[in-house]
Amino acid sequence: MMRQLLRDYLSSCRLPNLASVWSQVILASCLVFFFNDKDFQFATTYRPDLNMLLITGAVMSLLYLYGCLSGDWYDVKWDKQHQPSRPIPSGRIPRHHIGLLALICLSGAGYLATYLPDRVFVWVTALALVISLYTLFHKRNFAARVVLMAACRALIIPVSVFTQVELDAFWVTVAGVASLSLFCYILSFMLSSKPKFSRFLLALCVILQIFIAYLYLSNHAWANVSHWLIVIALTGLAVWIHRAIGKPQGKFIKLSLAWMPVFDLGVAVSVALVSGYYWLMAVPFVAVALWYILSRLADAD
């Protein structure tokens, strides 16, 4: 009984996908390994602030949980008709418990965000607003669902980057390229019913990741090798995604979300080679492995 109750709560939190949130926070925060001025010079002393990274990860995690829980609370009428086996419509979890947990997560994220630099406030607020809009419209309007879901994930990157560095044109460009790449990846599998457009978005995502690697490794000895590594890995993943088109939509989207961290490979390889912290290349794959492990504890639907 207690085990089932715990599993139901974890299912409402979509626990497995939380691993990809941390993967994106870590890699985006580590972008500061690259440059400490606008003359494109490699940084030698610039290091991410570990405390700020952990707080950022906690804020993003709480906002993620707020989105999942508030969605279950708000969609109870829809779930009763289409997914009656879910925890709230089935009566296994009281609806007000989920609503209270959602408010606690949102309040906790707001409190922790006060420890972040003031320049990040607008980005955290924007993310909370987009998540709230996603909660309202994702079961009612497909276009809103697709765009808002992609925006929720993409906004993790500027929050993580601007926690570590000053807000200026250079870093806006850096964060913008990384965010747009992630945005296009999510759009690509959410729009898998339109294969031509979806493949275009996947190609654009790969190009943006290669551009990140080129920008940061143009003077690095491993530049050519890393570019090919990124091309092979991302192209292989893109082929796998589009071979999956035609399979049950729920399972396809679930697996695409699970492998989402691998599309940060351009960032991971570039950071690792410039900083010397080669273990960072493993971060996306560790996140995917955690997804599969946590999926045994709770469903990621």
Domain that holds residue 83: 2-34+48-295
What is the per-residue pLDDT for 36? Answer: 45
Output the pTM of the full model.
0.86
For residue 203, being part of any structural domain is answered with yes
Q: Lowest-confidence range among 46-50, 76-80, 184-188, 221-225?
A: 221-225
For residue 40, being part of any structural domain is answered with no
Highest mean pLDDT among 146-155, 231-240, 287-296: 146-155
For residue 232, being part of any structural domain is answered with yes
226 CB contacts (<8 Å, ≥6 apart)? 213, 217, 220, 269, 270, 273
What is the per-residue pLDDT for 6? Answer: 78
Model confidence at 100: pLDDT above 90: yes
Q: Which of 118, 217, 111 is nearest to 166 (CA)?
A: 118
Q: Bridge-partner residues for 245, per DSSP? A: 247
For residue 77, being part of any structural domain is answered with yes
For residue 301, being part of any structural domain is answered with no
Q: How many structural domains compose the chain?
A: 1
For residue 300, being part of any structural domain is answered with no
For residue 43, being part of any structural domain is answered with no
CATH number, domain of 103, equals 1.10.600
What is the per-residue pLDDT for 43? Answer: 45
CB contact at 8 A, 57 and 86? no
281 CB contacts (<8 Å, ≥6 apart)? 265, 268, 269, 272
What is the per-residue pLDDT for 229? Answer: 64
For residue 137, being part of any structural domain is answered with yes
Instruction: Give me the amino acid identity at 59.
Output: V
